[in-house]
Amino acid sequence: MAMALKLIPHLIAWFGIVLIMLRGFSGRRSAVLLAGIFGFVIGVAGTLILYRSYPGSITFGVVKSTLGISFILLWGSSVFAIYRSTGRGKDTLRGERLISASSTACAVSCLASIVAGAVCACKLSSFATGGAIATVSLLLMLVSCCALAYAALAFEKRLPEPFRVSPAGMLAIVTALLLFSASSILRLDLFSPLSMKVMKGVHDFVHQFMESVLFPDHLFVRSYIWKSIGLLFSKEVGFWGGLIIWFTPAVLIVTAIAIQRLPSVAHIRQGAERRLQSAAAIRERRHRLVIPVLSVVFFAAAAYQSSFPSVEYWDPKPLPVTANQAGEIIIPKKGDIDLEDGKLHKYLFKQGEREARFFVLLSPTGELTVDLDACAICKPDGYGQAEGSVICYYCKTLIPLETVGKPGGCNPVPIAFSVKSESVVIDGTTLINSWGATVQATTRVKEGGK
């Protein structure tokens, strides 16, 4: 039951989505409600079926891609809103016409609810892998979904009449709520990967720029110049750049509504009546601003959740190990620690002044893997384990457990090992050299690699 409580934030987000859609499509309440519940159930069922069929990260990938598409759609919509904002009344008229169509109401409610349901199902699958807990949680979730939808219907009727939702505002808040809901699930989080993309994009741009001006960037540039350029490759640049991309659509929609021209009142002869009409239009515009401004709050909450996740990582303190006379590190598979328990086990090996951190992990395919607690790209901040993945502490990239042991990208650098008489055997010198080469490469440019 306590675990099922983890679904509460997601169900609250669902409540918000239904509430906004009910007000946005206020003439089609029944259609919105039914399409919403239907979509939610379809989303949950589809995701669980997909997850059962493909237990890896495919399901999460599909849901995450859908969230990404929603965000891109919001970006397009916000740019369009700005473009149309100076056109006198045109945007509003088209939006009103679109929003009043029954088919639009059903389609939008159903699609948004499918995604909301899929996100809830992903959360469910992340802590309830099967059995009674999963079944009870699933049932609770579906009952709550229906109850909250009807609660939203009752609450919506009590909302003040002037409180209106523009089409762009509705898209902004629904996307914000979905992303807020998804940001608490590591494998669905979009903000951290976005920050990473920005960081990588800046790095690649600088690199390519220097290449294009025939100025090789890794050979002749002096270290103090690299220190300055290196600031561009820092995590902070990625974070702030990510924030800009994250918030821009909502801010553009707020701006579009704020600068939208008011309907002309020049034809009204009587001054007082003319001013009353102007005041009503200004008031109505203010009411339409509430939802996009609220969406900024939810985007902020999603970014916060992503940057400071409440997920507890499995991050054991590295245990010191030594090599025998043959230079081999021998770790028993079933000693004080069970190497095959599916958890990440960290070790620290010292050889003279040099040291190396590594971990041993049993992959979901049943094979042991030994890897450096560092990758070939990032500053060696190490890895933690959570929700079917290991996470790079530096760049927050999630690496599915299935791919740990494979080289490349942000994956931990794999180390050759052998299994002899129920022990894992690693060559100490190889380990130290590999660590040295990796760390040297990733810390040469500046304090951190990427």
Positions touching another protein (CB under 8 A) are 270-276, 278-279, 282
Residue 120, both tokens: 């809830």
Give least dist CB 160 to another protein, A.
Answer: 12
Between CA 16 and CA 23, with CA 22 as vertex, the angle to 5 degrees is 95
- Is the CB of 278 or the CB of 403 nearer to another protein? 278
- Is the CB of 157 or the CB of 275 nearer to another protein? 275
Q: CB–CB of 116/40 below 8 Å?
A: yes
Short-list 438, 318, 315, CA closest to 378: 438
Q: CB–CB of 117/47 below 8 Å?
A: yes
- Is the CB of 129 or the CB of 264 nearer to another protein? 264
Q: Residue written as tokens 């590190």?
A: 329
Q: CB–CB of 250/295 below 8 Å?
A: yes
DSSP, residue by residue, 64-90: HHHHHHHHHHHHHHHHHHHHHTTSTTH
3 state SS of 268: coil
Give least dist CB 257 to another protein, A.
Answer: 18
Give least dist CB 273 to another protein, A.
Answer: 7
Going by the DSSP 8-state scheme, the letter that residue 188 receives in this structure is G
- Is the CB of 280 or the CB of 368 nearer to another protein? 280
Counting every residue written for the chain, the total comes to: 450
Distances in whole angstroms, Cα of residue 146 to Cα of each of 11, 18, 438:
10, 11, 53
Amino acid occupying residue 46: G
Q: At what angle do helices 29-53 and 8-24 cross, to 10 degrees?
A: 140
Distance CA(20)–CA(294), nearest Å, equals 11
- Is the CB of 236 or the CB of 273 nearer to another protein? 273
Give least dist CB 283 to another protein, A.
Answer: 10
Give least dist CB 84 to another protein, A.
Answer: 25
Q: At what angle do helices 90-100 and 58-84 cross, to 10 degrees?
A: 140
- Is the CB of 216 or the CB of 271 nearer to another protein? 271
Strand ranges, E, within 203-344 = 319-321, 328-332
- Is the CB of 84 or the CB of 274 nearer to another protein? 274
- Is the CB of 154 or the CB of 272 nearer to another protein? 272
Give least dist CB 384 to another protein, A.
Answer: 57
Give least dist CB 197 to another protein, A.
Answer: 46
- Is the CB of 1 or the CB of 272 nearer to another protein? 272
Give least dist CB 286 to another protein, A.
Answer: 12
Give least dist CB 80 to another protein, A.
Answer: 29
Give least dist CB 284 to another protein, A.
Answer: 13
For CA atoms 28, 33, 36, 39, give the dihedral sign: negative
3 state SS of 41: helix
Q: CB–CB of 388/374 below 8 Å?
A: no
CB-based burial, 173-212: b 16+ in 10 Å, e otherwise: bbbbbbbbbbbbbbbbbbbbbbbbebbeebbeeeeeeeee
Amino acid occupying residue 63: V
